[in-house]
Structure formats: structure tokens, C-alpha cells
């Protein structure tokens, strides 16, 4: 049976050839229903774009993709530093920025089909079963960071456990009134680490006999200025918290700014603890939860290169440890 052509795909999906081309090259420009129809036709026919088939025949593209949101967040920048160990290999790294659910779904639908990558690293983005099956069927080796799936190797962070660590640390230091400044809701295209960290924080407090009343939980958009305003709300309560946990170092910096604006001594009047341990945390003396950001990127690369060297190797799931870094603020 001859290889399927773009004409066959267009006929099967009942679209024009130019629409098939747009699905392959600019999927975000095609509505979801049409895009799925074209992708299903590609899967059914086993179509491989001609240029990419030639590259595949040369035994790979020597390119690895990194699919990630929040590319400007300090924590993601540090994680990407770990991923850039790829530059020491013979692979080129290609970045794909995700800023919406439709863009995430477009990339996960088309990247496996176009055969332009040998492997893919996906950061902090949930993968549904349809996307997972497309990656597996098209043999695009994939490693996940901060999420897990049985079909793929992964590097996971215990965000809930990190929240518990914070509560236990603050209780040990004699605190009895606790606050939380975090994200109101995360974007619909990525995982919500703030929620998980809050859950662990609440669980550990409750286990120790302490409550975190709703008035002591301040949620808003992610960012320093928002965190500053939310912290002012907590610190203006009739009986304010003596310790505030922020689920990122950026937000913790906003809490510190609010404390200074109210002439509060840190940590004497209010303790502040963050999460991530990005570079600035050390400079400002921030007590925080260290997650091994660069190491998570390096481990993801090692897992992916290992699978590319031996595709029979079973998926591995690595959970990296979290630790409290005690500095000046708590």
C-alpha cells in the first residue's frame, strides 16, 4: 500500500490541503473541531509529512522540544537552566511557550505527528489520555516535570508535602496564628501548585490542633504586588497572624514589603516563609522551601536521553526531596 499523502488526509478529513498544512504548521490558527478531524485522519492513514519523513529516515532530527508555561517566572527560568544541559549533548533544544489551553492542546496534538522532534520535555502541564495516546502511538519519547503519567518517565515534586513541611516548621518555632497568601486560581492550562501547597499546610496545621480560618487565607492573582496587597489585608486583622506562608518566593517578597510598610519587624512581629528557593531568596535572607529546580531539569534530560538510547527501558518516576532553608525571615 503506497504511503498516504496530504491529499489523502484532506480527502479523509473533508478539508482543503491548505487546512491540513495549517494544522501541521500553525495549529493554533485552526479551530479545535477541524484540527481534531485532521489529526484523526492523519492517525488513521499513518501520514508522515514528506520533509519530516526524510528527516526520520536519517535516524532522527537531533532536536528535543521543551513545552512549558510561565517562562518568565524565576522558578521556571532556574528549571530551564537544568534542561540546557542538552547543549552538552548532540541535541538542539527547541522551546514552545504555552500561554493558553488551546495552545497547549495544539502543541500536544501536532508535535507527535509532524515528527520534527526526537523527544519532548513537558513542564507543569497536565496531559489527558488522548494526548498521551498520540505521543505513544507516534513514538515521541516524552518526560514530564511536576506531573505524572504511567506511560512516561517523570520528575515529580511533592507540593502537598512541601506545605506540610512549612506548617511543621512554624509550629516548632512556637507560632499559633497562621496566614496564607496565594493564588486565587491558576490558569486552566497548567497545574495549580498553590492549591496543593495550601492543602498540605492546612492538613499539617489541623493534625497539630490548629485551624487556618478563611479570613487568614488571602488569595489573588500571582505576583509581587498582588501578594503585597493581600498581606496588608491579613496584617490588618484585629488579631493578625504571626506567620505567613506564601507558595512562591515572588509572593513572599510581596509579603515582606507589606510588613516593612507597616513597620513590622521580621521575624519578631511576623515570620514569612516562601517556596522554591530561587536565586533572590538567598540575597534577601528569605526562609523558604527549596525544591531542586535545576536538578529537576537535569534529571528530566537524563531520563529522556536514556530512553532515546534504549527505547525498551521502562518509564521511571523520580520524586525529588524538599527541604526548608532557614534564613532570616522565619
End-to-end CA distance of the chain: 69
Residue whose C-alpha cell is 518566593: 249
The confidence score (pLDDT) of residue 16 equals 79
pLDDT, tens digit, for every residue of 116-160?
Answer: 888 999 999 999 898 999 899 888 999 999 999 999 999 999 999
As a whole number of angstroms, the distance between CA 220 and CA 181 comes to 8
As a whole number of angstroms, the distance between CA 225 and CA 230 comes to 9
Q: How many residues does the chain have?
A: 330
Per-residue pLDDT of the chain (330 residues; tens, 9 = 90+): 566 777 687 788 888 777 887 777 767 778 878 887 888 887 777 776 655 544 444 456 788 999 998 777 788 888 888 888 765 667 888 888 888 888 888 888 888 887 788 899 999 999 989 899 989 988 899 999 999 999 999 999 999 999 999 999 999 999 999 999 999 977 788 888 999 999 999 999 999 999 999 999 999 999 999 999 999 999 999 999 999 999 999 999 999 999 999 999 999 999 999 999 998 999 999 999 999 998 999 899 989 988 888 888 889 999 999 999 999 999
The confidence score (pLDDT) of residue 14 equals 87
The confidence score (pLDDT) of residue 58 equals 40
Helix H or strand E encompassing 219? strand 217-220
As a whole number of angstroms, the distance between CA 310 and CA 33 comes to 37
Domains of the chain (ranges; CATH) run 1-47 (1.10.260.40), 159-292 (3.40.50.2300)
The confidence score (pLDDT) of residue 244 equals 98
pTM as predicted: 0.81
Pair 115, 52: CB distance under 8 Å? yes
The confidence score (pLDDT) of residue 88 equals 62
295: exposed, middle or buried (Cβ count in 10 Å: 0-12, 13-18, 19+): middle
The confidence score (pLDDT) of residue 54 equals 43
Measured in degrees and rounded to the nearest 5, phi and psi for residue 299 equal -65, -40
C-alpha cell at 113: 505527528
C-alpha cell at 281: 531568596
Residue whose C-alpha cell is 516593612: 260
What is residue 245's three-state secondary structure? strand
The confidence score (pLDDT) of residue 187 equals 77
Pair 123, 67: CB distance under 8 Å? yes
Helices (H), the chain: 6-13, 17-25, 32-45, 50-57, 74-83, 101-114, 129-137, 159-172, 193-207, 224-235, 249-261, 279-283, 293-309
Pair 114, 49: CB distance under 8 Å? yes
Pair 117, 128: CB distance under 8 Å? no
Q: What is the mean pLDDT of the chain?
A: 88
* Neighbouring C-beta atoms of residue 159, cutoff 10 Å: 23
As a whole number of angstroms, the distance between CA 115 and CA 173 comes to 55
C-alpha cell at 295: 536538578
The confidence score (pLDDT) of residue 87 equals 56
Amino acid at each position: 500500500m503506497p504511503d498516504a499523502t496530504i491529499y489523502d488526509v484532506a480527502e479523509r478529513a473533508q478539508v482543503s490541503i491548505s487546512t491540513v498544512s495549517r494544522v501541521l504548521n500553525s495549529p493554533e490558527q485552526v479551530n479545535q473541531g477541524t484540527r481534531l478531524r485532521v489529526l484523526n485522519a492523519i492517525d488513521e492513514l499513518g501520514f508522515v509529512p514528506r520533509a519530516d519523513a526524510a528527516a526520520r529516515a536519517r535516524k532522527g532530527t537531533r532536536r528535543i522540544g521543551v513545552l512549558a508555561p510561565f517562562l518568565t517566572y524565576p522558578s521556571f527560568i532556574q528549571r530551564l537552566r537544568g534542561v540546557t544541559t542538552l547543549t552538552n549533548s548532540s541535541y538542539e533544544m527547541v522551546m514552545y511557550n504555552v500561554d493558553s489551553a488551546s495552545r497547549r492542546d495544539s502543541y500536544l496534538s501536532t508535535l507527535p505527528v509532524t515528527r520534527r522532534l526526537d523527544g519532548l520535555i513537558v513542564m507543569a502541564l497536565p496531559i489527558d489520555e488522548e494526548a498521551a495516546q498520540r505521543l505513544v502511538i507516534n513514538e515521541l519519547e516524552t518526560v514530564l516535570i511536576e506531573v505524572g503519567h504511567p506511560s512516561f518517565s517523570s520528575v515529580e515534586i511533592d507540593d502537598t508535602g512541601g506545605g506540610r513541611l512549612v506548617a511543621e516548621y512554624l509550629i516548632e518555632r512556637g507560632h499559633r496564628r497562621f496566614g496564607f497568601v496565594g493564588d486565587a486560581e491558576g490558569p486552566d492550562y497548567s497545574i495549580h501548585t498553590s492549591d496543593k501547597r495550601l492543602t498540605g499546610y492546612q492538613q499539617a496545621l489541623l493534625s497539630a490542633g490548629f485551624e487556618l480560618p478563611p479570613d487568614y487565607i488571602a488569595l489573588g492573582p500571582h505576583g509581587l504586588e498582588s501578594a503585597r496587597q493581600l498581606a496588608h489585608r491579613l496584617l490588618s486583622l484585629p488579631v493578625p497572624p504571626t506567620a505567613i506562608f506564601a507558595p512562591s518566593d515572588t509572593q513572599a517578597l510581596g509579603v515582606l514589603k507589606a510588613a516593612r510598610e507597616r513597620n513590622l519587624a521580621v521575624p519578631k512581629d511576623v515570620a514569612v516563609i516562601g517556596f522554591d528557593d530561587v536565586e533572590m531568596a538567598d540575597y534577601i535572607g528569605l526562609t523558604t522551601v527549596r525544591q531542586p529546580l535545576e536538578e529537576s531539569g537535569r534529571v528530566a534530560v537524563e531520563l529522556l536521553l536514556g530512553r532515546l538510547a534504549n527505547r525498551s527501558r521502562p518509564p521511571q518516576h523520580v520524586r525529588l526531596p524538599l527541604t526548608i532553608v532557614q534564613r532570616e525571615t522565619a
